Structure 1
Amino acid sequence: MPSQPKPVNRLRTALFVFSVPAFTVLYTLFSIAFVRLIPYQKRFAYLTIWSRMVIWLAKTCCGIRYQFHGMDQLPKDQPYVVIAKHQSQWETFHLVNVLQPISIVCKKELLKTPLGIGYGISLLQPIAINRDDPRKALKDIQNQGLARLRDDNMPVLIFPEGTRTPVDSKGKYARSGAALAIAANVPVIFATHNAGYFWPSKGFDKFAGTIDVHFSEPVSSHGKTALELTREAEEWIESHLPSPRYR
């Protein structure tokens, strides 16, 4: 991690940690009475104001900037599956924004997050799974994922490692995202980043710098097994992890 003066870093992080729940409470109180009544497309855009504000607060309070690479390669005329690296909370907030509307595969516990956050997530049509029951989780990803891709023409975002992994490490890549893309016969986008250096998966401090997010070209799922496509995703994601750019 960078050699930033610790008292200054702690103060900036504390300001961020205080500001997020304060904004969340006000946003929830203002929104909860009517947000369910908004049509889905507009609801998605409205609800993700919250995550955009979190990203803005992280930038303003902690100096966490970001840059996207390869967004021009994303398919514009068909749904797809995004298989992404999971290092931090940052990418869960921001990928949903830049790829919206998109259905994210997440653990069911997130729907119980307080301050109205869980309720807001539930209104975004996520694929919420029970990680304690892997067979049912895989079935839910397949069934609900196919509905999002085919019926709703909506991309699906999945973190194959299942949980946040510290920088310089990786989790086991699950095959569910690849299997879904193969079943739906849609392309896959690989996404990698270095958010964990600036917004670590554990600990209090956050660090100033620029998060680089890289998207691959669309990768065909046709004629591949889930194992082959998952290995391809893992190799691309891990080999394209950007080095941190601290400020």
Structure 2
Amino acid sequence: MIALRSALFALLFYPGTLLYVLATILVSPLGTAPVRKVVHGWSAFHWWLVRHVVGLDVRWEGEIPRGPYLIAVKHHSMMEAVDTLRFGHTPVVVMKRELTSMPLFGWVTRRYGAIGVDREAGAAALREMMKEARAAAASGRPVIIFPEGTRVPFGAEPPLQPGFAGLYRALALPVIPVAHDVGRLWGKGFLKRSGRVRFRVGDPIPPGLKRDDVEARVHAAINALGPVVD
């Protein structure tokens, strides 16, 4: 059953994604609002598959506030990466450059407002990320970052990547940390197991803290749902 659900998800999600990408390209000349509507429709489509095909029962503890925040999310899987578009209130998502450079899909991510970061490019890439993030925050949109830099297995608690501290300092925004345990059931591999997963919104972390302090607080908050679960 696990393999069947996983295969059905792939058979529906990836062709469906292509249709949404093409629809975004078609409506792009009409302006930003239609683009966002189609992209959010894609995220809603993914959310429907997550619940009804994969069989995840997602429970939230707390709510993501609206407005310009820096939202730091634990990263286990594609599930929460796509779902940020649904729970983040039209966010700008910081993602690896490989995704924003993909044919067609990458164009859509940039048109929506995602920020691609080349983790190997050093200081120049970080400066460009901060420039784009400042513009996003100035427009009232939240900025979502996966501060560990990549997907990690459930239970892993690596240190935060340097880009988080730089972005925190540059934006001077409160941080909303988000922990979850999706990786128990859905990680990097093909198989996606059904069951209950939890998301927990931590207390806002104020701007202006020293690097060690903010990194320690964010690290603890996004790892609040570790291997021991109810």
Does TM, normalized by the shorter one, top 0.5?
Answer: yes
Distance 2:191 2:107 in 1: 28
- The answer to whether the 8 Å contact 1:211/1:244 transfers is no
What residue in structure 2 maps to residue 196 of structure 1?
A: 183
Q: Report the alpha carbon displacement of residue 87 of structure 1 after superposing the two structures with TM.
A: 0.6
Aligned partner (choices 105, 109, 115) of residue 121 of structure 1: 109
Aligned partner (choices 151, 155, 158) of residue 168 of structure 1: 155
Q: In the TM superposition, what are the counterparts of 1:1-247 in structure 2 within 5 Å?
A: 8-34=1-27, 36-71=28-63, 74-76=64-66, 78-113=67-102, 116-150=104-138, 152-201=139-188, 203-222=189-208, 224-241=209-226, 243=228
Distance 2:173 2:22 in 1: 39
Change in 2 beyond 3 A, CA 1:13/1:145:
same
Distance 1:94 1:242 in 2: 22
What residue in structure 2 maps to residue 4 of structure 1?
A: none
Distance 1:221 1:153 in 2: 16
1:101 is aligned with what amino acid? Answer: T
Greater gyration radius: 1
- The answer to whether the 8 Å contact 1:85/1:160 transfers is yes
Distance 2:142 2:18 in 1: 30
- The answer to whether the 8 Å contact 2:176/2:201 transfers is yes
Once the two structures are superposed, what CA deviation does each residue of 1:126-145 show, in whole Å capped at 9, x if it has no partner? 11111111212221222221
Once the two structures are superposed, what CA deviation does each residue of 1:56-91 show, in whole Å capped at 9, x if it has no partner? 1122222122122210xx444x41101111111111
1:65 is aligned with what amino acid? Answer: D
RMSD after superposition: 2.0
Query: What TM-score do the two structures reach when normalised by structure 2?
Result: 0.90
Distance 1:55 1:165 in 2: 21
Q: Report the alpha carbon displacement of residue 119 of structure 1 after superposing the two structures with TM.
A: 2.5
- The answer to whether the 8 Å contact 2:73/2:178 transfers is yes
Change in 2 beyond 3 A, CA 1:232/1:212:
same
Consecutive unaligned residues of structure 1, counting only runs of 5 or more, are 1-7
Distance 1:99 1:91 in 2: 11
Q: Report the alpha carbon displacement of residue 13 of structure 1 after superposing the two structures with TM.
A: 1.1
- The answer to whether the 8 Å contact 1:81/1:177 transfers is no
Consecutive unaligned residues of structure 2, counting only runs of 5 or more, are none
Q: Report the alpha carbon displacement of residue 209 of structure 1 after superposing the two structures with TM.
A: 0.9
After superposing the two structures, state which structure 1 stretch, 88-97 or 133-142, moved more. 133-142
Distance 1:104 1:154 in 2: 10
After superposing the two structures, state which structure 1 stretch, 165-174 or 41-50, moved more. 41-50
- The answer to whether the 8 Å contact 1:175/1:230 transfers is no
What residue in structure 2 maps to residue 3 of structure 1?
A: none
Q: Report the alpha carbon displacement of residue 42 of structure 1 after superposing the two structures with TM.
A: 4.3
